[in-house]
Amino acid sequence: MITIRKAEDRGHSDFGWLDTYHTFSFDQYYDPAHVRFRSLRVINEDRVQPANGFPTHSHRDMEIITYILSGALEHRDSMGNGSVIRPGDVQRMTAGTGVSHSEFNPSNSEAVHLLQIWVLPQSVGLPPSYEEKHFSDEERCGRLRLIGSNDGRDGSVTIHQDTQVYASVLEAGKTVNHAMAENRHAWLQVTRGTVRLNEMELRQGDGAAVRKERELTIAAHDQAEVLLFDLA
């Protein structure tokens, strides 16, 4: 069974410096029908204007994954980490017992477009930690490239949850397939273009909850990019 979450049905706020869409309930946006999907708690699609960003704030007991679509984002945290991430970079921060961080668009001319993803960890009270990996267009083109997993295999970032995250960049007409193990669930998020998921059309910003499907076929109508979450 596949249930589509249309882009236009998401929560939306525009603060001028930040234009943000919430797939699941977040901050002042609450939708009892869309609080989370399995361990997937947040998918926020953010556009941050030049020379703006999120001031220092704190988190606890959450796996926070940042995926850049365009532009750049500067990260600093209370663990002493500091870097600028760009398209192809995947950042994982385990908030655990508590961490503070800031996120800022360092450009004076270009907005940054990103997804911020929160995954509920398998256990609370983990030591805070940080990880960052780069996955080139070539690695993600025409295939589902593993970018996050519970064991860090194949060079993916390590997520403290039974979750696998794949990224794919697809040319028009190209198809990728993903076999679903028994009792697994999936969420597909379209970050660019239009795709068909088992004959159901999804456009940029759309998501889809997947239950009791044995195989997923993702076919690109045009130049497209997707994230696929394989969830317990």
Q: pLDDT digits over 87-137, tens only?
A: 999 999 999 999 999 999 999 999 999 999 999 999 999 999 999 999 999
Give the pLDDT band of residue 164 (cuts 50, 70, 90).
very high
Query: pTM to 2 decimals?
Result: 0.96
CA 231 to chain centroid = 13
Q: Which residue, 168, 165, 71, 157, is CA-closest to 114?
A: 71
The tens digit of pLDDT for each residue in 194-217 reads 999 998 999 999 999 999 999 999
Predicted confidence band at 26 (pLDDT cuts at 50, 70, 90)? very high
Task: Tell me what the pLDDT averaged over the chain comes to.
Answer: 97
Q: What CA–CA distance (Å, rounded) separates 227 from 145?
A: 9
Return the H-helix or E-strand segment holding 137. helix 137-140
Query: What number is the average pLDDT over the span 11-39?
Result: 97
pLDDT band, residue 225 (cuts 50/70/90): very high
pLDDT at residue 46, rounded to an integer: 98
In single-letter form, the type of residue at position 26 comes to F
Mean pLDDT of 169-193: 97
β-bridge partners, 14: 19
Write the CB contacts of 225 (distance below 8 Å, at least 6 apart in sequence): 69, 140, 167, 168, 169, 170, 190, 191, 192, 193
The reported pLDDT for the residue numbered 69 is 97
Query: What pLDDT does 107 receive?
Result: 97
Provide mean pLDDT across the span 70-81: 96
How far apart are alpha carbons 142 and 126 in whole angstroms?
Answer: 36
Q: Could you tell me which residue, 199 or 232, shows the higher pLDDT? A: 232
Helix (H) / strand (E) element for 140: namely helix 137-140
Please give the pLDDT value at position 223.
96
Cα separation values, 213 from 42, 148, 182, 189, 220, Å? 23, 22, 9, 17, 20
